[in-house]
Amino acid sequence: MRSISRTTQTADRMERYTPVAQALHWLTAVLMLTAVVLAWVFMAMPNAAGSRFALITLHKSIGQTIFFLAVFRQIWRYRHPPPLMNGRFTRWEACAAWWNHWLLYAIMILMPLSGYILATVAARPSPYFWLFYWPQPSHIPVLAHAALRVHLIGQFFVYAFVGLHILGAGWHVLVRRDGTLDRMLPSQDQKPAESASFHPNGSNRCTDSQTVVPHGPAVDR
């Protein structure tokens, strides 16, 4: 395994995600919260309620937007590798972060896809933000029921993965106090940024994570 060099990080001179990655992260978070709340609201409404279809359309449109954002974020991540994990990360924390990251992306792709399949093959399409309709496949009841099952079960994975993500952030903010959350926040330092070394794309995974020495450089294992 090739050697990885990095600059020593301090609380106020931390390697951060790019502004675009930060904006996409928080935009996705807001959209996911909105989609969940909308689902709770229209599921509690009578089927004949006049505004129910509008809420469903908005829910679907936001979900499809999350899908495209998730795909774009992966492209952006490939071209702009994320910063090194903070030197205070232990191996189990790095492993947990890697798994939670990719499981979140998997569910952000699976839920909109299952929702789209459910709506289209059940002959219940909705316009994308009232602008246009996506291609409509044939009415296939069996596939619609399968997509419904995936979508209903998938919501609990959304709650679990997002909850773990928030718990992880809280752990680093309240317990470790290591500035990990700052990587996803705009820098308050007006000085020119120091040069930073990054992992090649994908090498922040727990199987490739470095042996962690608090406040020290990363060492390959």
The CATH number that applies at residue 50 is: 1.20.950
Task: Tell me if 28 sits within 8 A of 73, measured CB to CB.
Answer: yes
Range of the domain at 169: 19-185+202-208
**Identity of the highest mean pLDDT range in 15-24, 62-71, 143-152, 198-207:** 62-71
142-194 pLDDT tens trace:
898 999 999 999 999 999 999 999 999 999 889 988 888 888 998 876 554 44
Say what the alpha-carbon torsion angle 207, 210, 214, 217 is, to the nearest 10 degrees: -170
Asked whether residue 10 is assigned to any structural domain, the reply reads no
* CB-side neighbour CA atoms (13 Å) of 51: 7
Q: Which long-range contacts (CB under 8 A, 24 or more apart) does 51-56 make?
A: 53/126, 56/126
pLDDT of residue 86: 54
Q: How many domains does the chain have?
A: 1
188-198 pLDDT tens trace:
765 544 433 33
Beta-bridge partner residues of 198: 83
Tokens 């995974």, residue?
205
Say what the alpha-carbon torsion angle 79, 27, 157, 73 is, to the nearest 10 degrees: -10
Q: What is the pTM of this model?
A: 0.77
Tokens of 93: 């924390």
Asked whether residue 132 is assigned to any structural domain, the reply reads yes
Asked whether residue 3 is assigned to any structural domain, the reply reads no
Q: What is the DSSP letter of 160?
A: H
Q: Assign 128 to helix, strand or coil.
A: strand
With a CB cutoff of 8 Å and minimum separation 6, the contacts of 177 are none
pLDDT of residue 137: 78
Asked whether residue 25 is assigned to any structural domain, the reply reads yes
Tokens of 158: 């959304």
Asked whether residue 62 is assigned to any structural domain, the reply reads yes
Asked whether residue 181 is assigned to any structural domain, the reply reads yes
User: How distant is the alpha carbon of residue 35 from its chain centre?
Assistant: 14
The pLDDT mean for the chain works out to 80
Tokens 């998938």, residue?
154
Asked whether residue 196 is assigned to any structural domain, the reply reads no
Asked whether residue 39 is assigned to any structural domain, the reply reads yes
